[in-house]
């Protein structure tokens, strides 16, 4: 039996004049989970998190924390905390003073405040001699850790994050992504995280919620969203993908422009079937596509011409132009690089166990 969620959102609507930013969204967030909300600009993710922390009030709908309605409760009366992209630290105060600030506002005594700050500095891997260090003397990564320590100081029930790593350089961002995931495991807190970075979402989250035009398109674990998206939008949003328009044949098989189906209709997996007269998008990720040599077979195949090669560190991506002019993406490990060159004819193939069908009306 599914436990009661720590946070429940029901039919949440937010309008700004004639514009509707959220269209009656529903969402249950479980205690202790790491939920990441992603979506393109204007999808409603920032509006949603502002409602959840109390910066804005909804036009209609309910927000419940442990069964108690909080949608009209001011932000400073909610047992939640927000880590902003700007961090909002006091630049001329010390690390310790910044961490202790919410405790000082609450009226805690100096001794317990300092003890709590030092404990949080240990948790965030900040040396204790940083206690008196000024924020304007700290590096970007150190400031990020101070902001996290300050957010945890008040012992909130839920931590909300609004793209907190987006302004950092690549290497530091990668390190802090892992540290945030580890911090979540160590604290057991509920994290709700907004980002435009799919890599952040895939690395850190228990579940990912994809937003589009003020609503949720799909909410699931990362692997399911990547491998079994519910729509073309999600498939394309979650990284490089190959999509083929297909329709059912009279015998229950599939056909698509330029796509060779190398198996009998009765061999097709049930999850790849399209209703008679219907159509869909056959999805295959670039890493599942392979180059076929003479005599090699695959469940699906097509012929094309090699057009480009891109080095991606440990992987290499190829762009192949199919006969109908579409581009097909192929990814291989660096040691499995294609031996030919641009302009060479190639034959591509993949197996049905690596495909996913998005059935469309």
Q: How is domain 241-360 classified at the CATH fold level? A: OB fold (Dihydrolipoamide Acetyltransferase, E2P) (2.40.50)
Angle subtended at Cα 139 by Cα 176 and Cα 41, rounded to the nearest 5 degrees: 55
The Cα–Cα gap between 209 and 52 comes to 15
What global pTM score does this model have?
0.88
Residue 1, pLDDT score:
67
All structural domains of the chain with their residue ranges: 7-232, 241-360
Residue with tokens 């498939």: 235
Which token pair is 43? 């999808």
Instruction: Walk along the chain (361 residues) and give the pLDDT tens digit of each residue.
Output: 678 999 999 999 999 999 999 999 999 999 999 999 999 989 999 999 999 999 999 999 999 999 999 999 998 889 998 888 777 888 889 999 999 998 998 889 999 999 999 999 999 889 999 999 999 899 888 998 899 899 899 889 999 998 888 777 888 888 888 988 999 999 999 999 998 888 889 999 999 999 999 999 999 999 999 999 999 999 999 889 999 999 988 777 898 888 999 998 889 999 999 888 788 999 999 999 999 999 899 999 999 999 999 998 899 999 999 988 999 999 999 888 888 889 999 999 999 999 999 998 6
Task: Tell me the sheet residues that pair with 254.
Answer: 248
Helices (H), the chain: 45-53, 95-106, 110-123, 140-153, 170-187, 198-204, 222-227, 232-237
CB 24 within 8 A of CB 47: no
Domain 7-232 has CATH 3.40.50.300: yes
**CB 189, CB 83: distance < 8 Å:** no
- Rounded to 10°, the helix 95-106/140-153 angle is 20
What length does the chain have?
361
Angstrom distance (rounded) from CA 49 to CA 274: 38
* The pairing of beta strand 279-284 with beta strand 242-248: antiparallel
Pick from 2, 5, 24, 4: which is nearest to 13 by CA?
Answer: 24
């Amino acid at each position: 039996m599914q436990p009661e969620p720590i946070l429940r959102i029901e039919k949440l609507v937010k309008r700004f004049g004639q514009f509707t930013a959220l269209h009656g969204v529903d969402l249950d967030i479980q205690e202790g989970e790491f939920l990441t909300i992603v979506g393109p600009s204007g999808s409603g993710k920032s509006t949603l998190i502002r409602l959840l922390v109390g910066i804005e009030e909804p036009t209609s709908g309910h927000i419940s924390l442990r069964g108690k309605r909080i949608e009209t409760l001011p932000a400073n009366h909610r047992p939640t905390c927000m880590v902003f992209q700007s961090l909002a630290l006091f630049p001329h105060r010390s690390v310790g003073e910044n961490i202790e600030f919410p405790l000082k506002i609450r009226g805690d005594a100096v001794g317990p405040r300092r003890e709590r700050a030092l404990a949080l500095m240990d948790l965030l891997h900040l040396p204790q001699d940083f206690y008196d260090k000024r924020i304007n003397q700290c590096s970007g990564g150190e400031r990020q850790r101070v902001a996290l320590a300050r957010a945890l100081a008040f012992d909130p029930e839920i931590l909300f994050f609004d793209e907190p790593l987006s302004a950092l350089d690549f290497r530091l961002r990668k390190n802090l992504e892992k540290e945030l995931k580890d911090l979540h495991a160590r604290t057991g807190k509920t994290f709700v995280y907004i980002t435009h970075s799919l890599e952040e979402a895939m690395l850190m989250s228990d579940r990912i919620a994809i937003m589009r035009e003020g609503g949720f398109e799909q909410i699931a674990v990362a692997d399911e969203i990547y491998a079994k998206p519910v729509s073309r939008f999600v498939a394309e949003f979650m990284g490089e993908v190959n999509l083929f328009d297909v329709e059912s044949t009279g015998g229950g098989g599939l056909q698509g422009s330029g796509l060779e189906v190398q198996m009998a209709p009765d061999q097709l997996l049930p999850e790849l079937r399209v209703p008679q007269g219907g159509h869909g998008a056959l999805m295959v990720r670039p890493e599942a596509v392979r180059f076929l040599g003479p005599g090699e077979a695959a469940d699906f195949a097509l012929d094309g011409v090699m057009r480009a090669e891109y080095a991606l560190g440990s992987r290499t991506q190829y762009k192949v132009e199919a006969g109908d002019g579409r581009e097909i993406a192929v990814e291989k490990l660096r040691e499995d690089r294609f031996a030919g060159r641009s302009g060479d004819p190639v034959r591509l193939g993949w197996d049905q166990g690596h495909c996913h069908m998005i059935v469309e009306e």
